[in-house]
Amino acid sequence: MSTDLNFVRNIGICAHIDAGKTTVTERILYYTGKNYKMGEVHEGTATMDFLQEEQERGITIQSAATTCPWIKDGNTYKINLIDTPGHVDFTIEVERSLRVLDGAVAVFDGKEGVEAQSETVWRQADRYRVPRVCLINKMDKLGADFEFSFKSIRERLGANAIAVQIPIGHGNDFEGLIDLLGMRAYYFDSTELGSKVEERDIPDSMKDMAELWRHDLVEKAAELDDTLMEKYLENPDTITVPEIKAALRKGTLSRECFPVFCGSALKYVGVQRVIDGVIDYLPNPTEVPPVDGIDPRDAEKKLTRPHDPSAPFSALVFKVVSDSHGDLTYIRVYSGTLQKGGRLLNPVNNKREIVSRIFEMHAKDRDALESVGAGQIVAVIGPKNSITGDTLCDPDNPIVLEKMDFPEPVISMSIEPNTADDKKKLGEALTTIRREDPSFRSNYNDETGETIIAGMGELHLEIIKNKLVRDMKINVTVGKPRVSYRETIAGSANDVRGLFKKQTGGRGQYGDAVVNVMPFTKEEAEAAGLKMVDGVCFVDKITGGVIPREYIPSVEYGARQAAASGVLGGYPMINVKVELVFGSYHDVDSSQVAFEQAGALAFRQACTKAGLALLEPIMKLTVTTPDEFFGNVSGDIASRRGQINDSEMRGNVRIISAEVPLSELFGYTTTLRSMTQGRATSTMEPLEYRIMPERLKEAVLTKG
C-alpha cells in the first residue's frame, strides 16, 4: 500500500449505539479485500468485535484499529480505520480515537435519525475539529425515513448537511440509491453480497424528486466556493461534477458542510460509495493543520510539527493494550519517521523509551513493519512508561502535544479478593486496567480496608469485573454499585492558618501556611490561564520569601492530598481555588513533611470555614416511548427527582429528554421495561455535578 500521504486516510466510524457502525466496518473490510468472509455482529463473528464480552453482548466495548486498501480512479489508497463503541459507558474510546483521526464517518439510524449519543459523538468531533461525512444507514428498516433523518442532522446538530445520494424506496421496498452528482441509479445485488453493482437510468417515478435534491446540492455547493457561486448565478447548467466535488471537499475540510450518503450495511447497499466518499471528501494527513504542542523546557513556548516524514519525530499515545507478548502501545505519528529499535523520549514524565517492534494492526492480528512515517497509525511494543495522552518524540527535539481530557467516573463499587493470592494479583490487574482505560479509577481505602473501583456506568464496571474474573482468573466479590459523590465549598474563606508544630526532643517539625479558598470552576481557570488538576487550582502568592521556595510544592501537595480524601464525608473535593498567601518557617525544624501537614491542615480548616456542600452526578436521560405510556414515564421521572426539559413526537413515538440524579437511576431500565410492556428504551450520559439537597445530603453522609 502507498506511503504517499496524499493516498492515506485516517478515519473512524462513530455513532449512537445500534446505528450499525460495526456492520459498516465489516462491509468495508470485505469490499476492500481485507476480509474474505463477512462477519456479522448478531452472530458474534464481527472481526472488529474480537473480545469475548463484545461477541456475547453484540456491542463494541473497545475501539479496534485496522488498515485496508481501496482502489479508486486507478490509485491505491491506504485507509487506517478505527471502529468505536456507541455505548455511553465507553465514550472514552470515542474520545481518544477522535483525537488522533483526520476524518470520521458518522452513522445514523434511518428510522431514528439523530439520537442522544449521536449528539455526544458529534460534539466530541467538533471539539477535535474532525471533518465528517454522514451515512444514513438501515434504510431497509421498517419506518426508515431518509428525509426525516436528513432534517434531524440539520436541525438537531445544526450541521450544514448536503445530500449527495437519495434512496430508491425505503423499508422492505428499499432497492438502491441515486447518485445526485452523476444523476444515475445504482442497484446492489445482495446474492453477491453487494459486490456486484448495476448502474441504470433513474426510475421515471423518481426523476422529479432527484431533480429537486440535485438543485439543492448544486446550490449548497456553490455557497461554499465564490468562483462556483458566480458560475451558478450566471449559468448553473455549465457547472461540472468535478467542480461540485471540489467545492464539497473544500467545505468538508473546513467543516462548513457534511456530505450525506445513504444505504443499508446489513443488506450490502451503498457501502462502496461511502468508501469513495471517504476518498473524495475527507482529508489526507497533509491537509490537516500542523499539530500544535509546547516545549517541555519552556511551557510558554509554542511549537508545531508539520506532517512531514523528514521533520523531527512526534507521536501521540492514544491507547495501551496489555498483551502476553508485551504491552501494545497504539500511536498516531504526526511528524518524522521511526525505525524499529528506535529510541524516543516521553517528555511528559521525562523517561526514555525504546521501540523494539512496530506493527500495522488488523483488529487482533498484526503485520510487522521495519519503520513508520508521519500520518500513520500503528501499534508499537517496547514503551514501558507511556500511557494514553502521552507524547513520544525525538529526544533532541522534544515537544509535548496537547493532552486529552478524560471524564470523571460517576459510579463506584467495592471489590474484595477472595484469597491472599488473589489479593496480590488484584493489585497488578487493576494497575494494568488503569493503564488501558483512563476513565477507570481504583483506590484502596485504609480506614475500611476496601478496594474501590470507579467507572462511567454500571455496564462499564460489570465488564471490568468480568475481565478480572474471566480473563485474568482472579476470584473477587463485588459490592453493590455506589454513586461517586464529590465535595465542594459553598463560599470563600480568607487568611486561614495551618500550623504544624511538633517538639519531640532533638529536632522538631515546623510548618506554617496561610491560605485563602474560594469556589472556582474549570472554565474560570481556563479563562484566567490557570491550571486545574483533579478539580483543584493552586496559586502561589508568596512574596518576600516568608516561605522558602523549596517548601511551596510541599504545601500544594498537602492541600491536594487533603482535597483527594475530602473534608465532609471522604469524597474528593472539586471546583476549589487555593491561594497560598503567607506563612513562616524555622531554620532548623522546618521540613517538606512539616509543610505538607501545614498545607493539609490549612486546606481542611479553610474549607470548613467556607462551608461544605455535597455534589451528586446528574445524568442526561433520553427515553423513547410509545406515546400511550408518556404519563407513566414522566410521572416516574418526576418521582426520581428528575426534570423533563423537552419532549417531542416522532410519528407515534415520544422522545423525552430529562436530567435525573444518578442515585435515582439504578435499575431504571428494568422498571421502564415493565411499565411500558417492554416497548420503551432509554440512554443516559453524565451531564454535570450539582449541589445535593440538604435533607438527602445528611442521609448520604450518615450512611457513608
Superfamily of domain 411-484: Elongation Factor G (Translational Gtpase), domain 3 (3.30.70.870)
Q: Which pLDDT band, with edges at 50, 70 and 90, does 702 fall under? A: confident
Question: Nearest 5°: CA angle at 275, between 274 and 277?
Answer: 60
Q: What average pLDDT is seen over the chain? A: 84
| Residue 218 pLDDT class (50, 70, 90 cuts) | very high
Pick from 79, 87, 157: nearest CA to 125: 157
Is pLDDT at 182 greater than 70 in this prediction? yes
> pLDDT grade, residue 45 (50/70/90)?
very low
Distance CA 535, CA 555 (A): 17
- 102 pLDDT more than 80: yes
For 309, residues 6+ apart whose C-beta sits below 8 A from its C-beta are: 335, 336, 337, 373, 374
Q: Which of 20-29, 481-490, 530-539, 636-645 shows the lowest per-residue confidence on average (mean pLDDT)? A: 20-29
Q: What angle, rounded to 10 degrees, do the helices at 241-253 and 207-223 form?
A: 60
Could you tell me the pLDDT band of residue 288, with boundaries at 50, 70 and 90? confident
Mean pLDDT of all residues in 354-360: 90
C-alpha grid cell for residue 481? 454499585
Give the residue-averaged pLDDT of 215-239: 90
What does pTM read for this prediction? 0.71
pLDDT at residue 556, as a whole number:
94
User: Could you give the CA distance from residue 136 to residue 164 in angstroms, rounded to a whole number?
Assistant: 12
For 31, 145, 282, 478, 548, the CA distances from 264, given in Å and listed in that order, are: 14, 13, 21, 42, 68
Is 119 in contact with 157 (CB distance < 8 Å)?
A: yes
List CB contacts of 530: < 8 A, sequence separation 6 or more: 537, 539, 577
Instruction: Quick: pLDDT tens for 467-512.
Output: 888 777 888 888 887 888 899 999 999 999 999 988 766 678 899 9
How far, in Å, CA of 618 to CA of 688, rounded? 5
Which pLDDT score is estimated for 298? 82
Facing residues of 137 across strands? 109
Our measurement of the distance from residue 11's CA atom to the centroid of its chain's CA atoms, rounded to an integer in Å, reads: 15
Q: Over 417-461, what HEC string results? A: ECCHHHHHHHHHHHHHHHHHCCCCEEEEECCCCEEEEEECCHHHH
The DSSP 8-state label assigned to residue 471 in this structure reads I
Model confidence at 604: pLDDT above 80: yes
Average pLDDT over residues 152-176: 91
- The arithmetic mean of pLDDT across residues 264-278, rounded, is 89
Give the per-residue pLDDT at 447. 59
| Average pLDDT of span 256-273 | 90
Sorting pLDDT into bands at 50, 70 and 90, what band is 650? confident
Which positions ≥6 away from 559 have C-beta within 8 Å?
515, 536, 538, 578, 599, 600, 602, 603
| Residue 61: predicted pLDDT | 44
Cα gap 620→616, rounded to integer Å: 13
CA distance 625 to 635: 13
Q: Is the pLDDT of residue 554 over 90?
A: yes
Mean pLDDT calculated for residue range 388-396: 89
Domain ranges of the chain: 5-286, 291-401, 411-484, 487-610, 614-703
Written as one string, the DSSP assignment of 123-185 is HHHHHTT--EEEEEE-TTSTT--HHHHHHHHHHHS---EEESEEEES-GGG--EEEETTTTEE
CATH 2.40.30.10 for domain 291-401, yes or no, is yes
Angle between helices 271-281 and 21-31 (to 10 degrees): 90
Q: Are 161 and 256 a contacting pair, CB within 8 Å? A: no
28/265 Cα distance (integer angstroms) = 9
Share of the chain above pLDDT 90, in %: 36
- Give the confidence band of 446 by pLDDT, cuts at 50, 70, 90: low
* Per-residue pLDDT at 58: 45
Residue with cell 497509525: 377
Pick 596 or 66 by higher pLDDT.
596
> Would you state the pLDDT for residue 312?
93
Of the two residues 57 and 697, the one the predictor is more confident about is 697
pLDDT confidence bin for 262, thresholds 50/70/90: very high
Q: How confident is the model at residue 60, as a pLDDT?
A: 42
* Residue closest to 316 by CA, chosen among 253, 392, 261: 392
> Looking at the domain covering 487-610, what would its CATH class be?
alpha beta
Which top CATH class is 614-703? alpha beta
Model confidence pLDDT, tens digit, residues 104-156: 999 999 988 887 677 778 888 888 889 999 999 999 988 899 999 999 999 88
Q: How far is CA 147 from the centre of its chain?
A: 29
pLDDT band at 277 (very low <50, low <70, confident <90, very high): very high
Neighbouring C-beta atoms of residue 385, cutoff 10 Å: 12
Least confident of 66-75, 283-292, 336-345: 66-75
Of 30-39, 177-186, 431-440, 674-683, the poorest mean pLDDT is in 30-39
What is the pLDDT at residue 193? 65
| pLDDT: which is higher, 449 or 217 | 217
The closest of 599, 27, 562 to 269, measured between CA atoms, is 27
Mean pLDDT value across residues 611-623? 90
Distance separating alpha carbons of residues 252 and 624, to the nearest angstrom = 32
pLDDT value of position 456: 76
Q: Classify 40 as helix, strand or coil.
A: coil
Residue 33: pLDDT band with limits 50, 70, 90:
low
Choices 3.40.718.10, 3.40.50.300, 3.40.1360.10, 3.30.420.40: CATH for 5-286: 3.40.50.300
Which one is predicted more confidently, 260 or 470? 260
**How many other CB atoms are there within 10 angstroms of residue 478's CB atom?**
16
Which residues, listed in sequence order, are joined to residue 537 by a DSSP beta bridge? 577
The radius of gyration of the chain's CA atoms, rounded to the nearest angstrom, is: 28
Q: What DSSP assignment string belongs to 52-102?
A: HHHHHHTS--S-EEEEEEEEETTEEEEEEEEE---SGGGHHHHHHHHHH-S
Query: How many angstroms separate the CA atoms of 615 and 617, rounded?
Result: 7
Pairing of strands 132-137, 377-381: unpaired
Q: For 227-324, where are the E strands, in sequence order? A: 258-262, 291-295, 298-305, 314-321
With cut-offs at 50, 70 and 90, classify the pLDDT of residue 51. Answer: very low
What DSSP line would sit under 310-344, residue for residue? TSPPEEEEEEEE--TTS-EEEEEEEESEEETT-EE
Decide whether 5-286 matches 411-484 in CATH topology.
no
Which of 192 and 14 is assigned the larger pLDDT?
Answer: 14
Query: Whole-angstrom distance between the N-terminal and C-terminal Cα of the chain?
Result: 58
Which residue, chain included where needed, has cell 456542600?
Answer: 613
Look-up: residue for cell 494479583?
Answer: 425
Q: Binning pLDDT at 50, 70 and 90, where does residue 40 land?
A: very low
> Using CA atoms, how far apart are residues 401 and 294, in angstroms rounded to an integer?
7
pLDDT at 21: 65
Cβ neighbour number for residue 106 with a 10 Å cutoff: 27
Tell me, what's the pLDDT at 84? 67
Percent residues over pLDDT 70 in the chain: 88
| Local confidence band at 85 (pLDDT 50, 70, 90 cut-offs) | low
pLDDT at position 41: 41
pLDDT over 60 (residue 170): yes
Contact 345, 394 (CB under 8 A): yes
φ/ψ of 484, rounded to 5, equals -90, 95
